[in-house]
């Protein structure tokens, strides 16, 4: 549609009760002019599991904003990351979201677009890959339902500490693992590939199999407050919104995850 206005954000890593950042992100989303489509590209939450009958506590502010957006008619796409799992039919119904556990293909204008969180790009992230697989098994879902939101949240914090810092020499969005992973999609026929996960915004040309494509990384909503927009008149734009340079805000983590 001619008036479509897309927004792609990722890697806010919101924690329970973090009212300041939840509020900032909620205001940014709700005040975004002309927004018709929001695509969350993973790790909106530092840890989130989609329980079938309960909600994880402490995320009311951001969840209310998502609900408000869908009430306004904004289409919500949620590409799961390696910190948000099994959002499933309940989340989809409650927030009107289209849930994509492994990524999604879009057509914007005349371009074929692939959106994926990007954690599978780095072959060294063994533990993350294990938990990505494990959390999506039926056995893990049943176990999580029994364990319950509060205890699972504590486990999530432990898991985050266990996996952070192991492979984080890869902070460069243009690292060969991300470029190579994007190149595979471009070789397969996509024109634009969008990842997050690296926590560094990026926008570059990637050539693969005689094709020329564009690889965008939405960066994060921690240090950079970066995001991607698309509208028909301008195409894709990367906005390195908040803070100059690559420095984290005081007290904020900057490691990818
Ligand atoms: Mn991630």
Residue from 201, 204, 207, 202 nearest 186 by CA: 207
Q: How far is the CA of 257 from the centre of ligand 1 (A)?
A: 4
Report which of 202, 203, 211, 198 is spatially closest to residue 256, judged by C-alpha positions: 198
Say what the pLDDT of residue 85 is: 83
Radius of gyration of the chain (CA): 17
Q: What would the two tokens of residue 36 be?
A: 């018709």
Q: What is the pLDDT of residue 208?
A: 95
Distance, CA of 193 to CA of 195 (rounded, Å): 7
Q: How far is the CA of 122 from the centre of ligand 1 (A)?
A: 11
Q: Which residues of the chain have pLDDT under 50?
A: 166-169, 243-256
Measure 1 CA to ligand 1 centroid, in angstroms.
31
CB contact at 8 A, 49 and 83:
no
What is the pLDDT, as a whole number, of residue 57?
A: 86
The model carries a pTM of 0.87
* Dist. CA 167 → ligand 1 center (Å): 12
Query: Following DSSP, what letter does each residue of 39-55 receive, concatenated?
Result: EEES-SBSSEE--SS--
Q: How many CB atoms lie within 10 A of CB 141?
A: 18
**CA 41–ligand 1 middle distance (angstroms):** 9
Output the CA 201–ligand 1 centroid distance in Å.
Answer: 13
Distance 104 CA to ligand 1 centre (A): 16
Which 8-state DSSP code applies to residue 247?
A: P
How many angstroms separate the alpha carbon of residue 139 from the centre of ligand 1?
A: 23
Give the count of beta carbons closer than 10 Å to the beta carbon of residue 70: 16
Task: Give residue 173's pLDDT.
Answer: 67
Quote the ligand 1 centre to 230 CA distance (angstroms).
22
All structural domains of the chain with their residue ranges: 5-101+126-171+219-240
33 Cα: distance to centroid of ligand 1 (angstroms):
27
Give the pLDDT confidence score for residue 244 in this predicted structure. 43
In whole angstroms, give the CA distance from residue 225 to residue 36. Answer: 20
Predicted pLDDT of residue 196: 94
Report the separation in Å between the CA atom of 3 and the middle of ligand 1, taken as the mean of its atom positions: 31
CA of 7 to the centre of ligand 1 (A): 18
Distance (Å) from CA 176 to ligand 1 centroid:
17
Alpha carbons 193 and 190: distance in angstroms, whole number: 7
38 three-state secondary structure: strand
Q: What pLDDT, on a 0 to 100 scale, did the predictor assign at position 158? A: 81
The alpha carbon of 18 and the centre of ligand 1 are apart by a number of angstroms equal to 19
């Amino acid at each position: 549609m001619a008036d479509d206005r897309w927004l792609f954000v990722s890697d806010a890593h919101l924690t329970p009760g973090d009212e300041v950042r939840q509020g900032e992100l909620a205001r940014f989303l709700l005040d975004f002019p002309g927004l018709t489509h929001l695509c969350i590209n993973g790790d909106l939450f530092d840890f989130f599991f989609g329980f079938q009958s309960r909600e994880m506590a402490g995320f009311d502010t951001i969840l209310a904003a998502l609900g408000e957006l869908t009430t306004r008619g904004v289409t919500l796409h949620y590409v799961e990351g390696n910190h948000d799992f099994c959002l499933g039919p309940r989340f989809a119904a409650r927030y009107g979201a289209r849930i994509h556990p492994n990524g999604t293909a879009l057509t914007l204008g005349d371009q074929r677009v692939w959106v994926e969180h990007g954690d599978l790009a780095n072959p060294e992230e063994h533990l993350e890959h294990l938990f990505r697989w494990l959390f999506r098994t039926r056995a893990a879902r049943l176990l999580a339902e029994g364990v319950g939101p509060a205890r699972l949240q504590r486990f999530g914090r432990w898991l985050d500490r266990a996996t952070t810092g192991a492979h984080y020499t890869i902070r460069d969005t243009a690292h060969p693992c991300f470029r190579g992973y994007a190149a595979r999609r471009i070789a397969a026929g996509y024109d634009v590939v969008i990842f997050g996960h690296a926590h560094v915004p990026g926008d570059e040309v990637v050539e693969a199999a005689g094709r020329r494509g564009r690889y965008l990384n939405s960066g994060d909503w921690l240090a950079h407050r970066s995001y991607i927009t698309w509208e028909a008149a301008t195409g894709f734009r990367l906005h390195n919104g908040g803070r100059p340079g690559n420095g984290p805000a005081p007290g904020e983590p900057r490691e990818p995850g």
